[in-house]
Amino acid sequence: MSLLSKLRCITVDVTGTLLAYKGELGDYYCMAAKAVGLPCPDYKRMHEGFKTAYANMAKLYPCFGHAANMPNIDWWRTCVKDSFIKAGYDYDDETFEKVFRRIYSTFGSSAPYSVFPDSQPFMRWARKNGLIVGVVSNAEYRYQDVILPALGLNKGSEWDFGVFSGLVGVEKPDPKIYEIALEMAGNIAPEEVLHVGDSLRKDYLPARSVGMNALLLDRFKTPDAENWRQSGATVFPDLVAVQDWLTKADQILAGQQAQ
């Protein structure tokens, strides 16, 4: 009996699993600044400024301001403004708004992202084989409504439901986000679900804690992968390998190895 016959649902992470960022953050901030006649900000300072600003906003207003009823655009406006300030660029309000609108628009489109070539085929294969496919991501609503569809990953053809932190108000590694996924899949048993992600802390461990099966992708040959294996996780290089593994007979589900 193959693993496929034991499952009713597969859930997948987004960034690092289905898609990746193209280029560097500084590329897009530079293009936005130059578009309004400003010099290109320093890439390194901009990257560090963004990391700090994003961490602060995520702490103050988690899930993109969900609990505070903060509009998504306002959350990002504050985050981007603080990113520039921490990088040493304090523009006047009118100039900043012009820069920000370009950045916000860019990251709400397909432009900064590339889909891994095996993502769409894997999701379609899973659905063709009768599995419910869900997306579980620490992402804002535009991933569901704009970004994934613009990248050719559409609800109804590649996935059936999405659990996005900005919409449900819960984010990884909180196990509740996986409990929500189980509910949205039709309240199916966790042992009938396999989660695929790229983070031991955010994907594998919390999914396992609610009884789901889980495995990890190591698309970028990260040194952390060895630690993942030592922690009991099954690790694959891509979704092609996952598909092959799922169709082989007499396998043991990844999550069940830790039971």
Last residue of a domain, one of 50, 74, 107: 107
Residue 189 and residue 78 in one domain:
no
Q: Are residues 97 and 126 in the same domain?
A: no
Range of the domain at 91: 25-107
Q: Which residues of the chain have pLDDT under 50?
A: 254-259
| Tokens coding 126 | 């899973």
Q: What is the CATH number of the domain that holds 234?
A: 3.40.50.1000
- Check residue 252 and give its pLDDT: 59
pLDDT score at 1: 63
Count of structural domains within the chain: 2
Do residues 7 and 124 share a domain?
yes
Q: What is the pLDDT of residue 255?
A: 44
146 shares a domain with 222: yes
Q: Are residues 121 and 84 in the same domain?
A: no
Verify that 132 and 200 share a domain, yes or no.
Answer: yes
Q: Contact at 8 Å (CB) between 126 and 96?
A: no
Q: Are 238 and 116 in contact (CB under 8 A)?
A: yes
For residues 123 and 32, state if they share a domain.
Answer: no
Q: Taking each helix axis as running N to C, give the angle between helix 43-60 and helix 72-86, from 0 to 180 degrees, rounded to the nearest 10.
A: 140
125: nearest Cα among 215, 251, 240, 216: 240
Residues 134 and 188 in one domain: yes
Q: Which of 51, 77, 107 is the last residue before a domain boundary?
A: 107
Does residue 193 sit in the same domain as residue 254?
Answer: yes
Say what percent of the chain tops pLDDT 70: 95
Task: Report the CATH number that the domain containing residue 39 is assigned in CATH.
Answer: 1.10.150.720
Residues 87 and 51 in one domain: yes
**Residue 187 and residue 245 in one domain:** yes
Instruction: Say if residue 33 is in the same domain as residue 100.
Output: yes
What region does 88 belong to: left with phi over 0, alpha with psi -120 to 50, or beta? left
Which of the listed residues 107, 127, 145 is the one where a domain comes to its end? 107
* The pLDDT value given to residue 251: 59
The answer to whether residues 197 and 239 touch, using CB atoms and an 8 Å cutoff, is: no
pLDDT at 3: 74
User: pLDDT by residue (tens digit) across 206-231?
Assistant: 999 999 999 999 999 999 999 999 99
User: Going by C-beta distance under 8 Å and a sequence separation of 6 or more, which residues neighbour residue 58?
Assistant: none
